[in-house]
Amino acid sequence: MKYVTERLYFAAMFLRTKILLIAIIFSALIVDASTHKKTKKTPSIPLLEAGAFGFVAHVPDYPASSEGRLRFLALPAIIYRGKILRSDRQKGTRLKLFQNENIQLDLSASASFPSASEENKIRKNMPPLDWLIELGPRIVLPLKESWLGWYGEFRLPLRGAISLHLKRHSYRGFRLAPNFFAWKKLSTYQLKIFLKISFNFIDRKYAAFFYQVDTPYITEKRNFYSAKPGYLGNQFAVLAQKKMNQVNFFGGIEFQSYKNARKVGFKNINID
């Protein structure tokens, strides 16, 4: 007997190579238009930068999905280096609540693309997955010393999730995602390298958003399933940033392992 989870996991592991290659080929970029006039005497970093952000990559329909889409996103890009509110390329957008040499507490956010269930074989005829916006506190513990030019920090974000649509919105539980983030600057090549490894723990409501199968959606190949909380999986990412004049190019690869998804979703759904 085969389970959907097995197919989800193994297919995702093999397809991930293609997903990452596409992300590397297309990359993403930010065009910065600095609002600060730099001079030879004052090469300070500007408070505000504005520009445009473009993103193209192949993204799974949901965590552990064997199916995905080529996603396009173009948005205005704002980099703001305020004392309390900050938005930059390295740590994203966050609201500083407390900071000293040893610890930082802030509010941070993340988002996930929506997914039309009719385009996914496993979720066909189930409710669509709306935009998922996550917001919550994050503890940051920076490493005091560098190692071979590498700097790093431990991050512990706990974010509540809300799904959004034009006509509806719902609370979808929370996700705890401890991670380690490291970076190194190669000045000779105007290049920055970033490494990140993260682990994901979710509650039942969060798991239900992706994996719950209620009675109306039972089919011959899809049994009833009540989602469970627990450890979902982990990710490892390698990213690079290359600056050319006023344009920043980004590219990278991300390896995702959702072997433990069988414990929180699609545990007993027959695919055959």
User: Does position 175 have pLDDT exceeding 80, yes or no?
Assistant: yes
221: confidence class by pLDDT, cuts 50, 70, 90: confident
- Whether the full predicted model's pTM is greater than 0.95, yes or no, is no
User: Does position 270 have pLDDT exceeding 70, yes or no?
Assistant: no
Lowest mean pLDDT among 71-85, 119-133, 174-188, 235-249: 71-85
CB-based contact 68:93 (threshold 8 Å): no
Tokens of 171: 């609370």
The dihedral formed by the CA atoms of 136, 251, 20 and 60, expressed in degrees to the nearest 10: 30
129: confidence class by pLDDT, cuts 50, 70, 90: very high
| Nearest partner of 199 among 236, 239, 151, judged by Cα | 236
User: Does position 10 have pLDDT exceeding 50, yes or no?
Assistant: no
pLDDT computed for residue 262 by the predictor: 56
CB-based contact 163:130 (threshold 8 Å): yes
Distance CA 159, CA 176 (A): 7
pLDDT computed for residue 89 by the predictor: 59
b/e for 105-118, b at 16 or more Cβ within 10 A? ebbbebebbebebe
One DSSP character per residue, 70-121 reads EEEEEEEEEEEE-SSEEEETTTEEEEEEEE-SS-EEEEEEEEE--B-GGG-T
Mean pLDDT of the chain: 77
CB-based contact 67:264 (threshold 8 Å): no
pLDDT computed for residue 260 by the predictor: 62
Q: Measured at the alpha carbon of residue 75, what is the angle toward residues 70 and 77, in degrees to the nearest 5? A: 130
Distance CA 94, CA 18 (A): 32
Lowest mean pLDDT among 48-62, 134-148, 169-183, 207-221: 48-62
The model's pLDDT over 185-220, given as tens digits with 9 standing for 90+, comes to 988 888 999 999 999 999 999 999 999 999 999 988
Distance CA 134, CA 121 (A): 27
| Nearest partner of 256 among 62, 81, 93, 43, judged by Cα | 62
User: Does position 40 have pLDDT exceeding 90, yes or no?
Assistant: no
The model's pLDDT over 134-165, given as tens digits with 9 standing for 90+, comes to 999 999 999 988 888 899 999 999 999 999 98
